[in-house]
Amino acid sequence: MAKVFAIANQKGGCGKTNTAITLASALAVKNYRVALADADNQKSSLQWLKQRPSNAAHIQSLDWRNEKSIGDAPKNLDYLIIDAPGALSGEHAEHLISESHAIITPLQPSFFDIDSTRRFLKHLQEIKRVRKGKVELLLVANRVKANSASSRDIQEFFGKIEQQPIAWISERSAYGQLAVQGLSIFDKQQKTYVSIQKQWQPLLNAIIDDPTAWF
């Protein structure tokens, strides 16, 4: 049975789709059978998959924008990554989260993101499977600028909510440049990209089943 990870945050522009496509390609490049399910009406992940070159590591495309499609996936997958909708509420949320082993929440270091993420995490606690500890919550500090005031703010924030991020991801132009080609940093082997890939290692270690040495 596939391990399922929902990438979710109600705040737009926090890097939710980038997190989803980066994880999906990281796993696909290592020859895992991976699907990326897009449950967001903006369909950014679906558009990215349409651009993906045929010679890139294969990622199965799933359209979960319609609630009836949720759970509809091939049986032989190793990993399923869900690009969840921003408005993760009501039965739709319950249904998506019932499919998930963990929720990965990217957070951008700004006052507005911090406030909305705090509300979002509180909201997630209202969902039974999360409250009972059956679904793990993993936070990712995203688009972090080194030594900026915002990264100090974000440190303070993680202290307040008593949960540290599993990974700290720097802001890099490479993500956007590759995304328009249907690629991610894990599709590239050059040193420049490998150094960026290493920032994702703690998150990959938390979600993969085997202790594969990635780099």
Quote the mean pLDDT of the chain. Answer: 84
pLDDT at 80: 95
pLDDT at 45: 94
Q: What's the farthest any 2 CA atoms get from each other in the chain?
A: 46
Answer yes or no: is pLDDT of 1 > 60.
yes
- Write out the two tokens for 4: 């399922």
Give tens-digit pLDDT for 8-44.
887 666 688 999 999 999 999 999 999 999 988 888 9
Give tens-digit pLDDT for 132-174.
888 888 999 887 776 665 667 777 777 776 778 899 898 888 9
Report whether 95 contacts 51 (CB < 8 A): no
Q: Which of 61-65, 114-118, 187-191 has the lowest mean pLDDT?
A: 114-118
pLDDT at 215: 46
Instruction: For residue 6, give Cα distances in angstroms to 10, 38, 82, 135, 206.
Output: 13, 10, 5, 10, 14
Give tens-digit pLDDT for 173-207.
899 899 999 999 999 999 989 989 999 999 999 98
Report whether 124 contacts 134 (CB < 8 A): no
pLDDT at 55: 95
Exposure of 191 in the CB half-sphere (CA atoms within 13 A): 0
| Neighbouring residues of 47: CB distance < 8 A, sequence distance ≥ 6 | none
DSSP-derived 3-state class of residue 47 = helix
Name the CATH superfamily for 3-207: P-loop containing nucleotide triphosphate hydrolases (3.40.50.300)
pLDDT at 163: 78
Instruction: For residue 2, give Cα distances in angstroms to 60, 73, 136, 208, 213.
Output: 13, 10, 16, 11, 21
pLDDT at 148: 62
Exposure of 49 in the CB half-sphere (CA atoms within 13 A): 23
